[in-house]
Copies of this chain bind each other. A is one copy, B any other.
Amino acid sequence: MIINTPIDMHLHLREGDILKDVLPYTENQFAAAVVMPNLVPPVDNKERLLSYKEEILKTAKNFIPLMNVFMRDYNEDELLELKELIFAIKLYPAGITTNSEGGVKGIESVYPVLEMMQEFEIPLSVHGETHGFVMEREREFIPVYEKLARDFPKLKIIMEHVGTAEMLDLLDKYDNLYATVTLHHLLLTLDDVAGGMLNPHYFCKPIIKTPKDRDAIQRFVKSGHKKVMFGSDSAPHPLKNKLKGAAGVFSAPVILPALAEFFEGDIETFQKFISDNARNNFNINVPEKKVEIVKEEWRAPYIVGEIKPMFAGKIFKFKVIS
């Protein structure tokens, strides 16, 4: 099968050696990806943005990075300048995810920026979790999404890496809410993290939740819902950091083979989820890139640099032809 112009709407590439190790896997499978800005220091100004983009483009020639910047109190001039360079601005509730210690605390403190983003048509990307109990953080964040959606009706808001069934119900309730879904929240549950031996490689934020949540996500994705887009949240951490408890799943190497199995021949819905919905919802214009997937056994890598990927060593029924 041929997939046309796949786009990963949520990707962590890091910098330096890790970027060099992981980016080829995304370039091999995707035309473009939204690159997240939670580096140390964060990507939150034009200079840092341009130098990070340059580093990415040095490694990947046949790939379009759609850059995000980290939320802060941008002024109008900064936003107008950034507008041409970025896809969206990423909002992390403070202290919840990797390198997000600089994230905003009260949503209202960024309202002036959100006003301008709405006016300038810059989308908002949100890591939607409260500081509550780990299994309830997304559910508790739902009122924040609803408030944002109502207060900024023309601001396009992306609920990133949705892992809780009830969040998906917001998509039909608010025109301006969208969702990305990761491979791991689509296919796994907390059982894969802690049901047998503890598996740090499937530990991430938002934590992978219940079978009920996973099944609801699968139903939404299989329905071809127009506002549900693939965003891997592939987040590479060296093994030694994962063993110290770092959050993130490195799924980049296995995405298209795993999704080809998941869609069981329904190429039309696969195409919408992996590309068309994103392009239509956000008018993303990137050069066409056809990616061929063949039905042929393929084994996922056991290790990539110092990083253990999702489904390491697993044999898939599909292979990407590079």
Taking CB atoms, residues of chain B closer than 8 Å to A198 are 198, 200, 203, 245-247
**Residue among A135, A191, A198 with the highest chain B CB neighbour number at 10 A:** A198
Copies of the polypeptide in the assembly: 2
Asked whether, in the complex, the Cβ of B247 is within 8 Å of the Cβ of A190, the reply is no
Tell me, yes or no, whether A211 is within 8 Å of chain B by CB: yes
The chain A residues found within 8 Å of chain B, CB to CB, are 133-135, 189-191, 193-200, 203, 207, 210-211, 243-247
Which of B134, B191, B200, B246 sits near A134, CB closer than 8 Å? B191
Within 8 Å by CB of A133, from B134, B196, B207, B210, lies B210
Which single residue of chain B is at the shortest CB-CB distance from A243?
B243
With A134-B194, A198-B198 known, 18 other A-B pairs at CB within 8 A are A133-B189, A133-B191, A133-B211, A134-B191, A135-B135, A193-B194, A194-B194, A194-B203, A196-B245, A197-B244, A197-B246, A197-B247, A198-B245, A198-B246, A198-B247, A199-B245, A200-B245, A243-B243
Instruction: Give min CB distance, A217 to chain B, whole Å.
Output: 15
Known contacts A197-B244, A243-B243, A247-B198; decide if A134 and B203 are in contact (CB<8 Å): no
Q: List residues of chain B with CB within 8 A of the CB of A200.
A: 198, 200, 245
| Chain B residues positioned under 8 Å from A244 (CB to CB) | 197
Contact B203 A245 (CB under 8 A): no
CB closest chain-B residue, reference A190:
B134
Cα(A243)–Cα(B240), bound, Å:
10
For A211, the closest partner residue in chain B by CB is B133
A135, B210: Cβ atoms closer than 8 Å: yes
Question: How distant is A52 from chain B, measured CB to nearest CB, in Å?
Answer: 26
Q: Are B211 and A194 in contact (CB under 8 A)?
A: no
User: Hey, which chain B residues are within 8 Å of A134, CB to CB?
Assistant: 190-191, 194-195
Shortest distance between the CB of A297 and any CB in chain B (Å): 28
